[in-house]
Amino acid sequence: MIIIGMLHHRKDPGKVRKSYSYAVVAKAEGAELLYFSPKAVDFKKRRIYGYFYREGKWERVESRFPDVIYNTGSPEKFKQSDSIIRQLKEIIPFTTHSIGNKISVYNRLKEDGTFSHYLIPTHIIYSLNHFIKHLEMYHNLVIKPVNGHKGQDITFIEPKEEKYYLHSEDEETLLNKDELLDYVSKKLKEEKYLIQPYINCKTKTGNAYDFRLHTQKNGEGKWVITAIYPRISPPGSIVSNISNGGSTNYLVPFLKQEYGEKYYDIKQYLEHFSIKLSKKMDELQLKFFNETIDELGIDAGLDDMNKIWIFEVNWRPGCPPTFYLELDVVKNTINYAIYLAKNQRVNR
């Protein structure tokens, strides 16, 4: 029987809500899920002291090494166990690999060229002079952290006569140029920031929105669409992320409301784009890092001309916030892990 390792920074599977779903689905697919944390690995004995889910409860076990590892949990908390994880990667295939931060993904796609015309011009802000140059170049712009996530710390800047309207998640104000430069200067002392022109992607009622295109590999190692759904910002906000108070909706009703008779063409456009970009990201991951990708969360928007723009590509998109899709995510993850394990055996 194939053993799928579920590697998490938490020692106790009972404190990881999704662990139960993965264990149950693994069993239903003819595999066994071994939950463990990095310090539970004994390389000398080639044993892992983890947990199997048996008869309705987690049972502490001593197990052989798994055939494949689904690595979940916090990348930050895994850093202290980096050497253990590196050793595991040398002998066991991992399902999930980092694609890097926003700017590294942007640069790879831009250099490749296939999707360069879908990329929003993006630059790291190296200095205040560099910021001023782009401030003069774009009418409306956005600054956000290179390593930001969940739509946090995004600032929208719009010229208003001799001043600048500034809108972020926690403030809305009008600044003169000196005040704006002081604001940006303080930001740059904290961490690296990106600057982009603002893409006007709003509903008929004026709410900013984007689309989350969630793709995964299935049990045949092929890319499939798990979900596509709009994320709509609360009134007055430019950030549509659910964690910042945004809402979501089913795709087809939303498209019918916003695009009328064009809804089906837009739906097909988004679906085709999702798979095509996922395949390209996978190709580039293999080219640059000799790794493959299992799952992506692509954030994209449509401008006034219905052209698609890539806002961001995420390698750990999590579960869609609604629509009862958690089981679909789990099934794809487990079946892809089984696929990896079987192919690894063939290639040994």
pLDDT value of position 348: 42
Centre a 10 Å sphere on the Cβ of residue 208 and count the other Cβ atoms it contains: 23
**Under CATH, which number does the domain 102-119+202-317 receive?**
3.30.470.20
Helix axes 263-289, 102-112, angle to 10 degrees: 100
pLDDT value of position 249: 87
Alpha-helical runs (H) found in 113-250: 128-137, 177-190
Alpha-helical runs (H) found in 2-115: 19-28, 75-78, 82-91, 102-112
Domain ranges of the chain: 2-91, 102-119+202-317, 123-197
The SS3 call for residue 300 is: strand
pLDDT value of position 86: 94
H/E stretch holding 281 reads: helix 263-289
pLDDT value of position 321: 74
The CATH number, out of the four listed (3.40.50.20, 3.30.230.70, 3.40.50.80, 3.40.30.10), of the domain defined by the range 2-91: 3.40.50.20
The SS3 call for residue 234 is: coil
pLDDT in tens, 110-137: 999 999 999 999 999 999 999 999 998 8
Does residue 144 contact residue 194 with C-beta atoms inside 8 Å? yes
pLDDT in tens, 21-30: 999 999 999 9
The SS3 call for residue 137 is: helix
pLDDT value of position 239: 58
Name the token pair of 8. Answer: 């998490």
pLDDT digit of tens for each residue in the chain (348 aa)? 999 999 999 999 999 989 999 999 999 999 999 999 999 999 999 999 999 999 999 999 999 999 999 999 888 888 889 999 999 999 999 999 999 988 999 999 999 999 999 999 999 999 999 999 999 888 899 999 988 766 678 899 999 888 999 988 767 889 999 999 999 999 999 899 999 999 989 999 988 899 999 999 999 999 999 999 999 987 766 655 545 556 888 999 999 999 999 999 999 999 999 999 999 999 999 999 999 999 999 999 999 899 999 999 999 888 887 666 788 999 999 999 999 999 975 444
Does residue 223 contact residue 278 with C-beta atoms inside 8 Å? yes
pLDDT value of position 327: 87
